[in-house]
Structure formats: structure tokens, C-alpha cells
Amino acid sequence: MSRQYFGVEALSLTAAQRAVLVAALKLLGRDNRAPQPSHRNHWRVRLDGQAVIFEANWNTDEWTVAGLGNRLATLFGVSPALVTFATAQTVYGPTATYTYSGTNRLRLIAFGGLLATWAESHDAVTAYLAANSAAWESAV
């Protein structure tokens, strides 16, 4: 179990596919009835609706690269083997970009790293938000 921040960004999903995926991701988390609100799955949506940052106490298998690939395959109704991914490292944490039928569909980022502490993940996500405030912050 770990508590950290994960982000998903739709690169080429229909609105309906995006809605189904996000609805499924909102159900993740192992302590969604915890007395401490910070332990429950909660999220923030990018202004354009194309990306979401989740935070919760997660089960260890909920945010695996393969697991998200399987969810994506389900969305497209295809074999998971047809959804490929490529990983990369960014200053905010590792990413996995998923491809289906020659098109990048979704990007996953584990803020601070897959084994990050909450503090490390928090530092990474706040740095990311500060660097991308135009996309994430509403007018003031």
C-alpha cells in the first residue's frame, strides 16, 4: 500500500472512453471509507478535462503499467496485447505512454516515482502543477 499522486492524460480518447476510464479510476483506492479524507481517493481535473491527478492510499497493484494497459484494452474492446506502451523518465516522475492501432492514447505518470513516499510524490506533483499552471489553474 502506498499513498501518492498519479496522473493520467488522455491523448486520443473519445469523450465517452475518457468518461468510462475516469469513472473506473475514481473507484480505485483501498481506504475510500477511511476517517481521514486524505486517505480516500480524490482527484483534480485539468481545465480542458483531458487529464486528472489522483491521490489516495492505493493497493500496490492498482497503478501498474500493465494494469492500466488492460483497462485501456477493455475500453477499445481489444486484446491487451494490442495495447503497447513506452516508458520514459521526466523530472516529475516516470511515465508510460500507451499506444493502440498506431496512435498514442493515454499517458500515465507516477509523481515522484513508483516507490515514492507521499512527501516525495507531493513535492513532485506541486512542482508539476506550478510549472503547468496555465493548464491547471482557472482565472483568478
Provide the binding-site residues for other proteins, judged by CB under 8 A.
5, 35-38, 40, 42-45, 47, 53, 55, 122, 125-126, 129-130, 133, 136-140
Nearer to other proteins, 78 or 137 (CB): 137
3-state helix, strand and coil shares in percent for the chain, rounded to the nearest 5: 35, 30, 35
- Closest separation between CB of residue 137 and other proteins, Å? 5
Q: Which helix (H) or strand (E) holds 97?
A: strand 93-100
- Closest separation between CB of residue 19 and other proteins, Å? 17
Q: How many CB atoms lie within 10 A of CB 45?
A: 12
Nearer to other proteins, 86 or 119 (CB): 119
Nearer to other proteins, 3 or 71 (CB): 3
Strands, sheet with 42-45, edge to edge from the N-terminal-most edge strand: 42-45, 51-58, 2-10, 103-110, 93-100, 83-90
- Closest separation between CB of residue 63 and other proteins, Å? 16
CA 86, 44, 24, 117 torsion-angle sign: positive
- Closest separation between CB of residue 5 and other proteins, Å? 7
